[in-house]
């Protein structure tokens, strides 16, 4: 049943989670938007912690911070989205930029103005996921997301 892959299942559930965070009168206005983002980020954080706790012990023994980030780009992205990130940049001073040109949670969305307004809702969980995974790997971080261009 290739069309019912787990990846699809996770994405479908994520879509419902975003909808629930902004449903039933919640999430209207700027304050509501922020409240929803906080909820989604927190859920991502705890899922990230859970994933990290299930890693083989050997995977946790990264020597360099950059190795940990590469692990996120390759293995975490692979487990969650079935692919790797397209690019990783760093200023070698603790700032890392992970680029995904076809981020699955965004490519599902419709095009246009609403897209730009809605995009943060579909990024918050993944920001939390990265932050939670890093936290369990011993790295306190701040993770933000930005959309610089619309997916093809």
Residues near a second copy, by CB under 8 A: 1, 3-10, 12-17, 20-21, 39, 43, 46-47, 50-51, 54-56, 59, 75-76, 78-80
Say which residues have a Cβ less than 8 Å from residue 72's Cβ, sequence separation at least 6: 98, 130, 133, 134
Provide the minimum distance between the beta carbon of 116 and a second copy in the complex, in angstroms, as a whole number: 24
Provide the minimum distance between the beta carbon of 91 and a second copy in the complex, in angstroms, as a whole number: 28
Q: Token pair of 40, please?
A: 């989604």
Provide the minimum distance between the beta carbon of 30 and a second copy in the complex, in angstroms, as a whole number: 19
Of the candidates 52, 41, 101, 42, which has an alpha carbon nearest to the alpha carbon of residue 80? 52
Say which residues have a Cβ less than 8 Å from residue 108's Cβ, sequence separation at least 6: 11, 15
> Which residue, 107 or 116, has its beta carbon nearer to a second copy?
107
> Which residue, 8 or 99, has its beta carbon nearer to a second copy?
8
Provide the minimum distance between the beta carbon of 132 and a second copy in the complex, in angstroms, as a whole number: 10
SS3 label, residue 142: coil
């Amino acid at each position: 049943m290739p069309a019912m892959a787990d990846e699809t299942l996770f994405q479908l559930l994520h879509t419902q989670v975003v909808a629930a965070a902004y449903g039933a009168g919640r999430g209207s206005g700027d304050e509501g938007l922020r409240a929803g983002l906080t909820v989604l980020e927190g859920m991502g954080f705890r899922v990230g912690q859970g994933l990290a706790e299930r890693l083989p012990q050997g995977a946790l023994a990264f020597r360099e911070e950059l190795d940990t980030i590469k692990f996120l780009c390759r293995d975490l992205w692979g487990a969650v989205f079935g692919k790797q990130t397209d690019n990783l940049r760093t200023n070698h001073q603790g700032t890392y930029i992970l680029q995904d040109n076809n981020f699955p949670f965004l490519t599902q969305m419709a095009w246009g103005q609403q897209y730009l307004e809605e995009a943060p809702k579909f990024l918050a969980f993944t920001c939390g996921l990265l932050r939670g995974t890093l936290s369990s790997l011993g790295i306190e971080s701040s993770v933000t997301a930005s959309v610089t261009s619309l997916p093809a």
